[in-house]
Structure 1
Amino acid sequence: MSVVEETIHTPVAIVGAGACGLTAALALHRQGIECVVLERDAVPAGSTALSSGFVPAPATRVQKAAKVEDSPELFAQDIQHKAHGQAAPVLVKAYSEAIGTAMDDLEKHHHIPWQLLDQFLYPGHSVHRMHAVPEKTGEGLMTRLRAAADAAGVVVLTQAQVTALHADDTGRINSLSYSQPDGATSNLNCDAVILACNGFGGNADMVKQHLPAMKDAQYAGHVGNDGSAVAWGLQLGAALADMGAYQGHGSWAIPQGSLISWALMMEGGVQINALGQRFHDETQGYSEAAVQVLNQPEGVAWNVFDNQLLRFAQDFPDFVAAQAAGAVKSAADVASLAAIVGCPVETLANTLSAVNPNNAKDAWGRTFKRALEAPFHAIKVTGALFHTQGGLNINGQCQVLKPHGEPLPNLYAAGGAARGVSGAEVWGYLSGNGLLSAIAGGHIAALAVAQTISEKTR
C-alpha cells in the first residue's frame, strides 16, 4: 500500500455524497466556501437512492402554493407525538424549522423540482407535507442532487473510502485519510469535517447489540452503513444517543427484494399472515410494522388490496417495477386468494368481511372507509431493516458532542451518522424522518461550519 504524501487542503471535508452530504456541499457553495466530498462508491447513491425519496417539510413554497396550512410547530408536534415525546427536543426544533428553507433553497438555487404528494396522508402526519421530485423515487432524487452538485462545481471524490480521522490533543481534526481502488491511501487536510456518511444497519454485530429485534431481519439498506461514523466518534471521545432507534419496513416484497409503498395500507389495504388473519393496525406506521410482520409465522405476511388500490399504487414507479418483477399475485375471489396465501378459505373470508366501513373500530383500533372488492391482489412481504436512527449525539447546530454535552471542536454530523428525531424505539419513526435528518441536518451543519469559518477569517 502506498501513501500519497503531498499536502492537500480544503476548508471543509464532507464524508458521504448522499442527500445529506450533497445538501451540505451545495449550502457551503452558496456561502462561497470550498469543500471536498468524499464518497466510497463509484456513483453517489447511498441510502437515499434506496429510499422512496419522499421528504416531509412544512411551509415550503410548494406547500404554500397548494394552500396547505402548516408550520414548523405543527410538524414538531407530529414528530414528538409519533416518538411518544422521546425525540431530542433541540433536534426536533432545529430540523422542523430548517427543512422548509433547505427545500426551498434546493429548488430556488439548484433547480430541484419539488412536488407535493397530496393524494394521501402518510401515518403520523397531520397535513400533506411530503415532497418528492417528479420521478417519485430515491434514485430520482439522487440523480438531481448529483446534477446540481456538478453544475455548482462541487468537488466530489468518488471511490474514496475514508478510513481515519486525525485529531490533535484537543480533539480538533486536522486531516483525514482515505483509500482508493488501487490500494493507495491519501491524506486530506481540513479545517472542519461533516460526517454525512452512514449508520450501522450493515454491521451485523452492531445490529445484534443495539437492535436485537432486527438481528435476523433482511437488511434493505446500503452496505456502506457499516458504523464507521460511530467508531470514529468514539475514538474522539464523542457520545452516542438513541442507539435503539431505527427505520424498519413491514412491506419488503419477497423474493423480489423491493419496497412496496405503505400508501397501499393507508388507503385501505390490509396485511394478513399465513393463517389468513390480520394482526395489527396497519395505519400506525410502516416502521413498527416490520416487527409485527417478523413476529408472524415464518416471518412473512401478505399485502392484500383490490383493483381500486392497484390503480392507485401504479402511480408509484417502485410499485410498477415490483409488479413487473412478478410481486403482485391476482385472485378472482376469496377462494383463489386463499390458495395463493395457503390459508383456510373460511378464515380469510371472515378476515376480509371485517374490512367494512359499517363496523366500529376493530380489535386493533382501525376503521375503514370502504370494503375490499374482488378481484383481489396480494404481495408476499417480510419485515426489513432499512436504516438506523441512532448515532453520534449532536446539538442543534449538528456539532458532535462529548458525554457531558460540550462539542468537539470542529466535527459535525447529520443524517445516518447522527441521532435522529425518532426517540429510542422503532415505533418513534415518523414517515420521512430519514431524509428529514439528512437534508435539514446537512443544511444546518453547512451553515454552522460556514459561520465558524467566516468568524475566523474576519
Structure 2
Amino acid sequence: MSVGAAGVAAPDSMARVVVEPGFEAPVQTDVLIVGAGACGLTAGLLLADLGVDAVVLERDAQPSGSTSLSSGFIPAAGTRAQQALGVQDSAERFAEDIQGKAHGTAAPALVAAYTQAIAPALDHLESRHGLQWEVLTGFLYPGHSRHRMHTLAARTGVALEQALEAAVEAAAVPILCEARATELVVDAARRVLGVRARRPDGSVEAIGCRALLLACNGYGGAPALVRRYIPEMAEATFGGHTGNDGTALHWGEALGAHLADMQAYQGHGSWAVPHGVLMTWALMVEGGVQINREGRRFHDESQGYSEAALHVVAQPGGIAWNVFDTPVHTLAQGFPDFVEAERAGAVRRADSLEALAALIACDPGTLGETLSAWTPGEPDAFGRRLPRRLDAPFYAVKVTGALFHTQGGLDIDARTRVLDSQGQPLPNLWAAGGAARGVSGNHVSGYLSGNGLLSAVAGGYIAAHDMAAFLRTSTTT
C-alpha cells in the first residue's frame, strides 16, 4: 500500500501514517519506543546503558500489557543462573527445541538471533539492573528439553513488568503514560520522523525521533484482524491486553512492510471461567487431565497449552474441566497466580468420583471409565504416558480455550529491522515482541512455552544494540 499525502488510515483503527516532510515536534529524542511491556522496557534500559537518549510511549495509565498477563517465565539457555545449577544447555539446543515445536517452520535467522541473545540479555538485566533470576526445575514445559525457564522470585508477569519499570525509572528513561500513539509521521522516502500521541483529554502531543521501535504488541484485540488471519479463534475468548489493537500492522502495511507468519498465535487451553485468569499448565504437565462436559478426555494434554485452546473450544459449549489430585495441587501452591485463583474460588474440591461428576454435571459411570482408562507409564488412547491414575480428593477448574496473543506480524531481519515486500529494511524502523513475527512458525501448535517473552526480551535487547549502532553512523539530524 502506498502512502498518500493525506495519509492512510486503517479501518476500525486510530492508527494512521502521514507524509509530512516539514514535521516539527517540541520534543525530540534519538529513539522513540512505542509500548512499555517487556520488549519496550528492555530496549529502553539497554539504550540508556549504551548512552542513547530514548523515550517510551505507553497508552495505559500504568505499564502492563501482555507481560503483566503472562506467567513471567522467560526461557533462556546458558545464563549464569542456569549454569549455577549445573544445567547443561546451549543456544543451539534451545533453537532445536523451538524448531521441533514449530515443525521446522520458524524463521531460522530469528531463532538463531533470539536464542543467542536471550542469555546475555538476562545476565545484563541481572548484573546491571538487579533483576535476580531463578530457574524453575520442578518440571519441564512441553517441548523444552532442559530446565531453562527463568523467573523472578514472585513468579508472576506483574512482578516482571514492575521490576523492569523500576529499573527504567532508575535509569532515568522517560515513560510517557496515557499517550496513545495514533499518527506515524514519515517523509517521502518512508523515513520515520516522529509520532503524534493522543492524551485522554483529547490533546495531541508530537514527538520527533531519529529511530523508532515498535514494541506495541500484536492484533489479538482487533476482531476484524483476528477474523481475517485466524478465523478459528474469531469467537474465542480474548485473554490478552486491549492494547493488542494492530497498530504496528496498520502502520507497517501503510509503509509497504511485509507481514509474516500471520496464522501463528499463542492460544491457551486453560482460561479459568468465569474468573478470567490463566491457570498454569503445570497442572497438566504433572499429571492432570482435561475432561469435557460428557466426562471424557479429548486430547493429549502433554502437547502444550497453545494448541490445547483449539481442542477445548471444540468441546460442547467450548468448556472443559482441568482435573488433578493432591500431588499436583501441592505442586501448584508454588505458583502465586494459582494460589490467588484458588482464593477467588476457581479451584473446586471433590472428595469422591461421584462428587466430581456432580461438579462437572456428567455421568459418574462415564467419568469413572475415563479416569481408569490408562495404565500408568504406558501410552494411552491419545499417546500420552500419564505417571499415575488420579485419586480422590480431586480438584477441578472450569476452563475454556482463549486467544492470548498473536505470533505473526511485521517481517523483520535478525537485527529486528522492519522489512518491506522486497526484503529490504525500511530506513529507520525496528519492531520486536508482539509487533513482529515471532519464532512459532505459522500455526498455533508451533508455540513453545515462553516464546512470547523470549521474543520480547531478546528482541528488545537486539533492537537497542542495532539502533545504537545505526545512530552512531547515521547522518540524519
* TM-score, normalised by the number of residues in structure 1: 0.98
Read off the aligned partner of 2:114 and give its amino acid letter: Y
391-400 or 332-341, which deviates more: 332-341
Read off the aligned partner of 2:57 and give its amino acid letter: L
Q: CA deviation at 1:157?
A: 0.6
Structure 2 equivalent of residue 291 of structure 1: 310
Deviations 1:242-291 (A, max 9, x none): 01000000000001111110001000000010111111000000000000
* Structure 2 residue 414 is the aligned partner of structure 1 residue 396: yes
Counterpart Cα distance in 2 of 1:114 and 1:149: 18
Q: CA deviation at 1:151?
A: 0.7
Structure 2 equivalent of residue 448 of structure 1: 466
Counterpart Cα distance in 2 of 1:138 and 1:323: 18
Q: CA deviation at 1:168?
A: 1.1
6-15 or 47-56, which deviates more: 6-15
Structure 2 equivalent of residue 375 of structure 1: 393
Q: Percent identity?
A: 57
Structure 2 equivalent of residue 271 of structure 1: 290
447-456 or 43-52, which deviates more: 447-456
Structure 2 equivalent of residue 209 of structure 1: 228
Moved over 4 A (4+): none
Q: Is the 8 A contact 2:24 2:208 kept in 1?
A: no
Q: Which one of the candidate residues 423, 426, 432 is aligned to 2:450?
A: 432
Counterpart Cα distance in 1 of 2:375 and 2:29: 62
Q: CA deviation at 1:5?
A: 7.0
Q: CA deviation at 1:377?
A: 0.8
Structure 2 equivalent of residue 160 of structure 1: 179
Structure 2 equivalent of residue 184 of structure 1: 203
Counterpart Cα distance in 1 of 2:323 and 2:27: 57
Q: Which one of the candidate residues 91, 105, 129 is aligned to 1:72?
A: 91
Q: Which one of the candidate residues 104, 113, 118 is aligned to 1:85?
A: 104
Read off the aligned partner of 1:11 and give its amino acid letter: D
Q: CA deviation at 1:455?
A: 2.2
Counterpart Cα distance in 1 of 2:117 and 2:382: 36
Structure 1 equivalent of residue 244 of structure 2: 225
Deviations 1:76-130 (A, max 9, x none): 0000000000000010000000001111110010001111011000010000000
Counterpart Cα distance in 1 of 2:375 and 2:336: 30
Aligned residues between the structures: 454
CA change 1:355–1:362 in 2 (3 A) is closer
Read off the aligned partner of 1:81 and give its amino acid letter: G
Q: Which one of the candidate residues 143, 146, 154 is aligned to 1:135?
A: 154
Q: CA deviation at 1:7?
A: 2.5
Structure 1 equivalent of residue 48 of structure 2: 29
Q: Which one of the candidate residues 424, 446, 452 is aligned to 1:406?
A: 424
Q: Which one of the candidate residues 334, 337, 341 is aligned to 1:315?
A: 334
Listed as ranges, the gaps of 5+ residues in structure 1 are: none
Structure 1 equivalent of residue 360 of structure 2: 341
Partner secondary structure for residue 170 of structure 2: helix
Structure 1 equivalent of residue 440 of structure 2: 422
Counterpart Cα distance in 2 of 1:69 and 1:219: 37
Structure 2 equivalent of residue 52 of structure 1: 71
Read off the aligned partner of 1:323 and give its amino acid letter: E
> CA RMSD of the aligned region, Å?
1.2
Listed as ranges, the gaps of 5+ residues in structure 2 are: 1-22
Structure 1 equivalent of residue 10 of structure 2: none
Counterpart Cα distance in 1 of 2:126 and 2:388: 38
Counterpart Cα distance in 2 of 1:142 and 1:324: 23
Read off the aligned partner of 2:447 and give its amino acid letter: Y
CA change 1:394–1:6 in 2 (3 A) is closer
Structure 2 equivalent of residue 327 of structure 1: 346
